[in-house]
Amino acid sequence: MSKCTLPLCVSDFSQPDGFIGVNIGTALSDMPSPTQVVALLKAQNIRHVRLYDADRALLLALANTGIRVTVSVPNDQLLGIGQSNASAANWVARNVIAHVPATNITAIAVGSEILTTLPNAAPVLVSALKFIHSALVASNLDGQIKVSTPHSSSIILDSFPPSQAFFNRSWDPVMVPLLKFLQSTGSYFMLNAYPYYDYMQSNGVIPLDYALFRPLPPNKEAVDANTLLHYTNVFDAVVDATYFAMSYLNFTNVPIFVMESGWPSKGDSSEPEATLENANTYNSNLIRHVLNNTGTPKHPRIAVSTYIYELYNEDLRPGPISEKNWGLFDANGMPVYTLHLTGGGTVLANDTTNQTFCVAEEGADPKMLQAALDWACGPGKVDCSYLLQGQPCYEPNNVVAHATYAFNAYFQKMAKSPGTCDFKGVATITTTDQSHGSCIFPGSAGRNDTLPNSTSLAPSSNSTSGCHSVYIYGAGSFTTSVIISVLLMSVFCL
């Protein structure tokens, strides 16, 4: 057992690059077929999934895909498995051995949040883990398949500052042998982390930006007075609180996987922050945070692989409206929103239609928008004639509207290639058609490929200057001017 006597301990484990996975719930009135589920996973380049059971049809559909699968022992089966080695062996034979190696099962989650939701089963939790593991050993699968159990972050007391966090001591008779098991088998601590609930339950103490991974000024960052570590988001603070809670029990070499994290896209009147924009912001930022291998302040550059909760909206889930609206997709495989992941990799760039558009980012600096607009209509070779006075997209005559048109025209011209809707951070992707009146945007179902007879304002391919067409807003008119700007050339010109 590793010893840790300092507030800030050096870990004696290492992690490979972090990954993003998804949870697949089944409380849908119109659940997609296993084939449809797998097709969506492939289209989204999702290589890691967690099932809340061991559904045979879905496991068969996942065969020969290479997708790494975590199967689960449902809570209602835990007592039987935890009291009988034979029951555990039968479960593994039926739900694991029957499917490997064709289906790439890599982990078994035994129950979910047992200590907080099914405490009467807690005394047999570690036995269940050991029995399941023994069955894997007997089939020589223990090296390939890890065994653990997901915990709610609520088992951690005094979670801020993280260095003072500890597990609820009443669970020590379970937690200590559990951590010994995870350590001896090379498994990991499964944590469910929900900054949404931390924010909602904080009575205004936790800023929304802190929960959503939005940038904070240095004076707004949370500082752990014991370690002087700076925390810029709730997610990292919760993960580090878990690391510290384990070190309090003298375990410093058990890595953490976050098995559930997300943000609801819709809620009732008591859940004002359950919105599409906040869900998009949280999940987009979380995915970038994980895939960048940022780690946490306590363990920088040690990846925290995370499963997004969840793939589909589950309309049959009981409870408030938010409970039905954690999904990235609806039952038809249509995105609830399009994640802001331009340039962030291919996983979960969740546009499953041709109807995606590039728009000016809300709140973007007007000067940056102007410079990006100049580039799009100049070196970007976008046909901006639609934006001239008297043309269909002239109104509304402001930099946001005109930049949105130009950004989208470039995005569509470049076949929506990764990185072509960024413009130095002032553009983002949406599924909302921006067409209005007679102004039909490129990429819209209402527009064909025939362009009006007009002279393109983009420089010709043999132009000696790559940055001479600049569009300026002044005196209420949209004009063209020849301006040489060192700043614009250095930032936006090819």
Each as own residue / partner, the long-range contacts of residues 51-57 (CB below 8 Å, 24 or more positions apart, any chain) are 51/24, 52/23, 52/24, 52/25, 52/26, 52/112, 53/26, 54/94, 54/95, 54/96, 55/26, 56/95, 56/98
Q: Which residue among the candidates 113, 273, 314, 323 is catalytic per the annotation?
A: 113
d(CA 243, CA 259): 15
Q: Which residue among the candidates 260, 273, 310, 314 is catalytic per the annotation?
A: 260
CB 75 within 8 A of CB 81: no
Distances (CA, A) of 37 to 124, 263, 354: 34, 21, 20
Q: In what order do the strands lie in the sheet with 150-152?
A: 146-148, 105-110, 68-73, 48-51, 20-24, 306-308, 256-261, 189-192, 150-152
Q: Which amino acid is located at 356 in the chain?
A: T
Active-site residue, 271 included: no
- C-alpha dihedral (70, 76, 78, 83), degrees to nearest 10: -150
Q: Which two tokens stand for residue 291?
A: 């895939």
> Which H or E run contains 223?
strand 222-223
d(CA 476, CA 53): 62
d(CA 292, CA 283): 14
Farthest-apart Cα atoms in the chain, separation: 82
d(CA 238, CA 165): 9
d(CA 138, CA 49): 25
d(CA 386, CA 134): 69
Active-site residue, 113 included: yes
Burial class (CB in 10 A: 0-12, 13-18, 19+), 219: exposed
Catalytic residue numbers, as ranges: 113, 260
